[in-house]
């Protein structure tokens, strides 16, 4: 078991990573004076697998399940309002915690509900996917979606604790697990070159989901993110580094033609684009793109699904909530040396997008190999 403290000023909290933690969750979260019930937000499948062991671990609290749809469908105003009303009807008190049990979408939704019900009730994250354990559950970002874009309505609201039980990763579908590995790759490429070397050396234990290896993998990513969040809680500077690959990735997720692509698959394409752009602008030496491509291929994240035209992609990028008087890109000077860049010439961005489109094909088109 590994414990990492997120040193947010005045609101520090622990992220505990290990195997078999659900059954002792109550021992891993701080005391909540006056709390009587824990309102657990989870979709049906996750609740079937993990609600009972979680309830057994929350020995001091009665557990109440609040059901939600799976995935991004949960992050709507309608679902948010339904949860608010359920809390009100069941007379949830200000001391009663809202617990997110599931992936990143459930964490985003439950966190925003916790932040806004009665102007804020305690919030606990119990992530059960790799994406959530290494990234989404840490840092206090909560949100719901609008038709115009993801996460456009939300708040920074830190949890009281995060409990990451790596044994839950054993039940993830293969595609979801590999999607989470995209976020692991992000940390390896931007903040932890030693993790990159580990991934490049031998992936067999990671892909076999050995609990001890996953504990190390997840805790490395948590440490990397915690160090950035402690310096920049509100995403005003250094935290933007954590958006490596996300400028294009979020744009692809926003475009209807790419609704079937997972978050991790979109971010993988985004990281390849960022490496290509870094080489094109001369910020990074040749070879960065090829190293990205080899790593992502080994993780089962070779890009596919096609690319829309540059104009459509650029329009989607400009809808991103981080767009401020021009596009900002996180690019690498080399592995482990990220830089936030705001002055990339538009013709270089377009040319890099055209390169990606040529290799991936247009919407519905067949892709060709990446890595040259």
Judgement on whether residues 147 and 21 belong to the same structural domain of the protein? yes
Question: How far is the C-alpha of 249 from the C-alpha of 5, rounded, in Å?
Answer: 29
Residue 222: inside a domain = no
| 87 in a structural domain | yes
267-317 residue pLDDT tens: 999 999 999 999 999 999 999 999 999 999 999 998 877 788 899 999 888
Ramachandran area for residue 224 (φ above 0: left; ψ -120 to 50: alpha; else beta):
alpha
Q: What is the pLDDT of residues 164-192, one digit of tens each?
A: 999 999 999 999 999 999 999 999 999 99
Please indicate, yes or no, whether residues 157 and 270 belong to a single structural domain of this protein: no
pLDDT (tens digit, 9 = 90+) per residue, 207-236? 999 999 999 999 999 999 999 999 999 988
How much of the chain, in percent, has pLDDT values that exceed 70?
A: 94
Partner residues linked to 3 by β-bridges? 16
Are 367 and 361 contacting, i.e. CB atoms less than 8 angstroms apart?
yes
Q: Are residues 146 and 252 in the same domain?
A: no
- Residue range 131-160: average pLDDT? 93
Residue 343 clears pLDDT 90, i.e. is over it = no
Tokens 């062991």 map to which residue? 53
203 close to 299: Cβ distance less than 8 angstroms:
yes
- The answer to the question of residue 366 being in a domain is yes
CATH number of the domain within which 280 lies: 1.20.1090.10
Q: How confident is the model at residue 253 (pLDDT cuts 50, 70, 90)?
A: confident
pLDDT reported for residue 365: 47
DSSP string, 305-350: S----HHHHHHHHHTSTT--SS--EEEEEETTEEEEE----HHHHH
Residue 232 lies in a domain: no
pTM metric for this prediction: 0.92
Map residue 365 onto helix, strand or coil.
coil
Q: Please check whether residue 321 lies inside any domain of the structure.
A: yes
Tell whether 214 is covered by a domain: no
CATH of residue 93? 3.40.50.1970
- Mean pLDDT to the nearest integer, 36-40: 98
Question: Which of 12, 11, 188, 42 shows the shortest CA–CA distance to 3?
Answer: 12
Q: How confident is the model over 99-120, as a mean pLDDT? A: 98
For the record, the structure tokens of 249 come out as 């990735």
Residue 372 is predicted with a pLDDT of 31
H helices present in 58-103, as ranges: 77-89
Residue 111's domain comprises: 2-171
The pLDDT of residue 214 is 98
Beta strands 98-102 and 37-43: pairing type?
parallel
Mark whether 254 and 161 lie in a shared domain.
no
What pLDDT is stored for residue 328 in this prediction?
86
The confidence band for 140, taking pLDDT boundaries of 50, 70 and 90, is very high
Mean pLDDT value across residues 44-61: 97
Residue 270 is encoded by which pair of tokens?
């985004």
How many domains is the chain built from?
2
Alpha-carbon span 29 to 3, nearest angstrom: 12
pLDDT value at residue 318: 81
pLDDT value of residue 220:
98
Last residue of a domain, one of 151, 171, 191: 171
Is residue 362 over pLDDT 80? no
Supply the pLDDT for residue 23.
96
Measure the CA–CA gap between 220 and 332, rounded to whole angstroms. Answer: 20
Q: Give the pLDDT band of residue 352 (cuts 50, 70, 90).
A: very high
Is 286 found in the same domain as 140?
no
Q: What per-residue confidence (pLDDT) applies to 323? A: 57
User: Hey, how many other C-beta atoms are within 10 angstroms of the C-beta on 178?
Assistant: 20
Question: Quick check: is 187 in a domain?
Answer: no
Task: Give yes or no: residues 7 and 155 share one domain.
Answer: yes
Residue 367 has pLDDT above 70, yes or no: no
Domain termination residue (choose one: 171, 204, 234): 171
Return phi, psi of residue 62, to 5°.
Answer: -75, 135
Report the pLDDT value the prediction gives residue 145, as an integer from 0 to 100.
92
Which of 147, 171, 195 is the last residue in one of the domains?
A: 171
| Residues 33, 155 within the same domain | yes
228 lies in a domain?
Answer: no
The sheet with strand 2-6 has its strands ordered as 2-6, 13-18, 161-165, 123-127, 98-102, 37-43, 62-68
């Amino acid at each position: 078991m590994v414990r990492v403290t997120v040193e947010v000023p005045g609101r520090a909290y622990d992220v505990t990573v290990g195997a078999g933690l659900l059954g002792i969750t109550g021992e891993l979260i701080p005391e909540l004076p006056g709390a009587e019930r824990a309102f657990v937000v989870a979709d049906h499948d996750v609740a079937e697998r993990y609600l009972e062991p979680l309830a057994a671990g929350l020995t001091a609290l009665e557990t109440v399940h609040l059901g939600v749809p799976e995935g991004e469908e949960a992050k709507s105003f309608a679902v948010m309002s339904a949860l608010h009303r359920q809390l009100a009807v069941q007379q949830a008190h200000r001391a009663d915690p809202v617990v997110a049990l599931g992936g990143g979408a459930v964490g985003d939704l439950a966190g925003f509900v916790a932040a806004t019900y009665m102007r804020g009730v305690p919030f606990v994250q119990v992530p059960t996917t790799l994406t959530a354990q290494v990234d989404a559950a840490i840092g206090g970002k909560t949100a719901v979606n609008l038709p115009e874009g993801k996460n456009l309505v939300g708040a920074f609201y830190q949890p009281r604790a995060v409990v990451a039980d790596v044994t839950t990763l054993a039940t993830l579908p293969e595609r979801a697990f590999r999607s989470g590995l995209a976020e692991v790759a992000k940390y390896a490429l931007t903040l932890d070159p030693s993790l990159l070397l580990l991934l490049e050396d031998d992936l067999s234990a990671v892909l076999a989901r050995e609990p001890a290896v996953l504990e190390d993998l997840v805790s490395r990513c948590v440490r990397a993110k915690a160090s950035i969040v402690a310096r920049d809680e509100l995403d005003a500077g250094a935290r933007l580094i954590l958006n490596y690959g996300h400028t294009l990735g979020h744009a692809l997720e926003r475009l209807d033609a790419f609704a079937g692509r997972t978050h991790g698959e979109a971010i993988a394409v985004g990281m390849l684009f960022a490496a290509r752009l870094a080489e094109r602008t001369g910020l990074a030496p040749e070879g960065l793109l090829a190293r990205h491509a080899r790593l992502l291929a080994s993780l089962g994240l070779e890009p596919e699904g096609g690319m829309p035209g540059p104009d459509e992609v650029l329009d989607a990028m400009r809808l991103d909530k981080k767009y401020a008087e021009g596009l900002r890109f996180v690019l690498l000077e080399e592995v482990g040396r990220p830089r936030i860049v705001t002055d990339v010439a538009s013709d270089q961005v377009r040319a890099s997008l055209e390169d990606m489109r040529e290799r991936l094909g247009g919407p519905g088109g067949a892709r060709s190999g990446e890595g040259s």
